[in-house]
Amino acid sequence: MRGILAGLAVFFIASFGFVAWAATNSNTADSAADQARQDYRAYLEKLKELSTQYGQITGQIKEVIKEEGVPTIDENTGQIKITHDLNFSGSGPVQETEKDIKIVIEKPGLKKDSIRVTVENNRTLRIRAVKKAVQAGQQEERFEEAYDLSSPVQDHNTHAKYEDGILTVTLQKIQTPKKTVPVLVQ
């Protein structure tokens, strides 16, 4: 996949280099520009196709993991357990209990007042922040991560704490009542 994307990037750069060369030659400038536009459109179509295929493949992988699970090691107990959800969108560890989900991310150097934590549609946690410039003249870095949550969470009772370069976000799951309701069959 990366090889294809790298090849497309080279094609893209070559197309623009060709446009620059063609612009210097007045006799062929219009036809070269038209050719470069066509090449660029073909590149965009191929990129869109690859993006769609990538989305389909990752969706299928997530479905298999959700249905079958994958073995993971519980770092606290050292026991192997089957996990039915892997977070593909972020790098921080997700810890889950029956009542809540906790995400702990090591991100030193963030400006505490720039950290924005949001819960979207009770299923996605999004974290945005700005990292301080380390040296004079250096620009600030923007940081964003999103986590697809395995269970819906409450939009209130979410707590975030940033201390010593570690951001801890705790979200309470929506508790569904465990009761049996008879349904009349007609």
pLDDT digits (tens, 9 = 90+) for 123-135: 888 999 988 777 7
Please tell me whether residues 6 and 43 are part of one structural domain.
yes
* Rounded distance between C-alpha atoms, residue 54 and residue 12, angstroms: 20
Residue 113 in contact with residue 97, Cβ under 8 Å?
Answer: no
Please tell me whether residues 93 and 22 are part of one structural domain.
no
Q: What percentage of the chain exceeds 90 in pLDDT?
A: 16
Please tell me whether residues 64 and 96 are part of one structural domain.
no
Task: Give the pLDDT confidence score for residue 163 in this predicted structure.
Answer: 92
* Rounded distance between C-alpha atoms, residue 64 and residue 55, angstroms: 14
User: pLDDT for 37-86, tens place per residue?
Assistant: 899 889 888 888 887 888 788 778 877 877 777 787 766 777 787 776 65
Task: Give the pLDDT confidence score for residue 179 in this predicted structure.
Answer: 76
Higher pLDDT, 106 or 62: 106
Q: What is the CATH number of the domain that holds 133?
A: 2.60.40.790
* Mean predicted confidence (pLDDT) in 157-182: 87
Please tell me whether residues 115 and 158 are part of one structural domain.
yes
* Mean predicted confidence (pLDDT) in 23-48: 79
Residue 160 confidence class, pLDDT cut points 50, 70, 90:
very high
Q: Is the pLDDT of residue 7 over 60?
A: no
Domain count, the chain: 2
Which of 128, 123, 132, 131 is CA-nearest to residue 151?
123
SS3 content of the chain, % helix, strand, coil (to 5): 35, 30, 35
Q: What percentage of the chain exceeds 70 in pLDDT?
A: 78
Please tell me whether residues 63 and 104 are part of one structural domain.
no
